Structure 1
Amino acid sequence: MITILLRGAPEGMRPVLELDTQQLPDRVCLLFYGCNQHFERVDDTADVEGRPVPVFVWTYRTAIAE
């Protein structure tokens, strides 16, 4: 598990997330209230519960095709 911090996430979305992966991705896409929220990793870390975690910044939202 890898813990990340989401910056610029929509209101109501948890800013700290645990990814079930061994390798840190460059991008993450998360389903939130019927839309995909896209985040990209930046060269920054944040302190979460006393440990540094990578930061991902919100870049855009896409609607889910039906």
Structure 2
Amino acid sequence: MHDASQESEPQVALTGGPPGMPKVYGLPQGADMDAEKVAVPHYGRHEHFERTDKYVWISRRRVRVYEWIYSTAIAE
């Protein structure tokens, strides 16, 4: 079954980070597609990625690449 909502979900490509990090991350609706940094929750931590000037093609869509820079604990 085809889900059209997945096609419109803003996405970024992720490089680096801890093992098991997804290579593609769906941003929340309304998120800035060109934000300088993004934080991705991953196993009780926030993995921080910084925007690069690179793009990749994923499912016929041009997606910006973000590179891992550091990790922080999620505050409770």
Shorter-chain TM-score bucket reads 0.7 to 0.9
Bigger-Rg structure (1/2): 2
- Larger RCO: 1 or 2 (CA < 8 Å, sep 6+): 1
- Give the CA RMSD over aligned residues: 1.6
Query: TM-score scaled to structure 1, two decimals?
Result: 0.83
Q: Unaligned stretches of 5+ in structure 2? A: 1-8
What is the alpha-carbon distance in structure 2 between the residues aligned to residue 35 and residue 23 of structure 1? 22
Identity of aligned residues (%): 38
CA distance in 2, matches of 1:12, 1:49: 21
Aligned pairs for 1:11-22 within 5 A:
11-20=19-28, 21-22=30-31
State how many pairs are aligned. Answer: 66
Provide TM-score, normalisation by structure 2: 0.74
